[in-house]
Structure 1
Amino acid sequence: MDLHVFPMGPLEVNCYLLLGQASTEAGGGLEAVAVDPGGNPRKALDLLQKTGARLTHVLCTHLHFDHIGGVRALVEATGATACASPQDAYLLESELGRGGFMGLPEIELFDVTPLTPGEYVFAGQPCRVLATPGHSPGSLSFYFPAIGRVFVGDLLFNRSVGRTDFPGGDFATLVRSIKEQIFTLPGATIVHSGHGESTTVDNERTHNPYLSEF
C-alpha cells in the first residue's frame, strides 16, 4: 500500500490518500481511500489520475469544518462514498461543522454515509474502524493492521492531545479513548494525526505529558 499526505485548507489538515490493490472479488486494479480532505483536493485528484487508482471512499475522522472542506469536491470528481459517524451528523448544522466564522469560508455540504465501528476493507486492506470520542462525540480512528498505521484525526498528536473545549468535546472521554483504543495497539504502530507530524503508539504511551505517568 502506498501512502501520500497532502496538507489542505487554511488550517493545513493532513489529508491522507492510501492506494492499494483491490481483491479479485472487488474487480482488481488499484483502489484508493482518502482520509480527511480539508480543502482543495486538486493534488490528490492529480495523483489519482496519474496512477489510475479508483477512489472508493472518503473517510472522515470527524465532521469539524477544517477536516471536511474538500469532501464534496472529491466525491463529485470521483463518485466516492463519504463516510462518517452518525454521532457527528449534527455538526453539519453548526458553524463548527459548516465553517463560515473567523473569516473562514463556509464548506459545501455533502451526503454522508453512516459509518459505525467494526471491520472493513478499504483499498484492498483490512481496516478496523474504532470509536474514539472526546474531540467530538463521533470521532473515529482508522486502523490498518497489515501496514501498522492508524489515522486518528484530532484525537492524538505528537506529545499532545486534541482540543476538548469545543461543544461536544470531553477531556476524560478523549483520554479514555486513547488509552483503550490506541494504546492497546502494537507499540510500533504509526499514528497519523490530523495536523503536524506522525508519531508511534510507544512514543506517546511513554512520553506524552498528557497521558504518561511521568
Structure 2
Amino acid sequence: MLYVNIFQLGPLETNCYLVYNDAKEAVVIDPGGDPAEVLAVLRSQGLTLTHILNTHLHFDHIGGNAALSDATGAEILAGEADRPLLSSELGSGGFMGFPKTPSFSFTPLTPGTHTFVGETCHVLATPGHSPGSLSLYFPVLGAVFCGDLIFYRSVGRTDFPGGDEKVLKESACSQILVLPEETIIYPGHGPQTDVRDARENNPFFTDFHML
C-alpha cells in the first residue's frame, strides 16, 4: 500500500509529495524549497528515501533537491530535455528576484515503466510546460503526479522558454485524460483534481473527443 503526504514548499508554495510504502521506502516528488518538514517526517516515520523525482526543472520545483539529497543520499531523477533550464534563471533561480537554486546533479529519467517504492510507476513524457516535463502514474495508487501540466480546471503556463500550448494540450489529452476517470491528478500547485473533472470541466480541454 502507498501513502501520500503533501507539503507546500518554496516561495510559490509548490506541492511537494512524499510517497511511501509499508516497507518504509519513500520517494519525494518536486521538493520546491527548504525540505526541513519533509526530513522531519522521514525521520519520525523511520522512512528511507530512495529517490527524488522531478516532474520538471523549473526553480520552484527543485529548490530543495540539493539539501534533501545531501541529507539522505537519495538519487535525483529528472527529464534530460530539461537539463538546459539549469543554465538559465528559470532553472538556476534568480528569476524575477526569487532565490538562487543550490546546484545538484541528476540522473536522466526516461519515459517508460519503472519501479519506485516497490510499485510500478509509468513515467509519461508530457512536454508543453517545459520540454522535459514528466508525469508519474502509479496505478496501484490510482494517481498521477503531473507537475505543472494540469491544474484544477486550468493548465500550466506555456509562455516560458521551452513552453508550447499546443504541445501541452496534446500531452494532456494523449497521456493523462486517457487514464481511468477516477484517477487523482496531483498538480504542482493548488488543489488536486481527477481525470473525470479535467475531461468535463477544464475549459482547456473542451475539444477533447478521444474517448
Give distance in 1, aligned partners of 2:70 and 2:125: 27
RMSD: 1.0
Q: Report if the CA contact (8 A) 1:20-1:125 is conserved.
A: no
Residue 209 (str. 1) matches residue 203 (str. 2): yes
Residue 52 (str. 1) matches residue 46 (str. 2): yes
* Secondary structure of the corresponding residue to residue 146 of structure 1: helix
Residue 195 (str. 1) matches residue 196 (str. 2): no
- Equivalent residue, structure 2, for 1:26: none
Residue 83 (str. 1) matches residue 98 (str. 2): no
Aligned-partner residue type, residue 128 of structure 2: G
Q: Which runs of structure 2 are paired with 1:1-214 in the superposition (5 Å)?
A: 1-21=2-22, 29-213=23-207
Q: CA deviation at 1:2?
A: 1.2
* Secondary structure of the corresponding residue to residue 71 of structure 2: helix
Give distance in 2, aligned partners of 1:34 and 1:101: 24
Counting matched residue pairs gives 207
* Secondary structure of the corresponding residue to residue 141 of structure 2: coil
Report the TM-score when normalising by structure 2.
Answer: 0.96
Aligned-partner residue type, residue 124 of structure 1: G
Aligned-partner residue type, residue 197 of structure 1: P
Cα distance per residue 1:165-196 (max 9 Å; x no partner)? 00000000000000000011000000000000
Structure with greater helix share of residues: 2
**Gapped regions of structure 2 (runs ≥ 5):** none
**Gapped regions of structure 1 (runs ≥ 5):** 22-28
Give distance in 2, aligned partners of 1:31 and 1:187: 28
Q: CA deviation at 1:211?
A: 0.6
Q: Report if the CA contact (8 A) 1:84-1:115 is conserved.
A: yes
Q: CA deviation at 1:101?
A: 2.9
Report the TM-score when normalising by structure 1.
Answer: 0.95
Cα distance per residue 1:104-152 (max 9 Å; x no partner)? 1101110110000011111122100000000000000000001100000
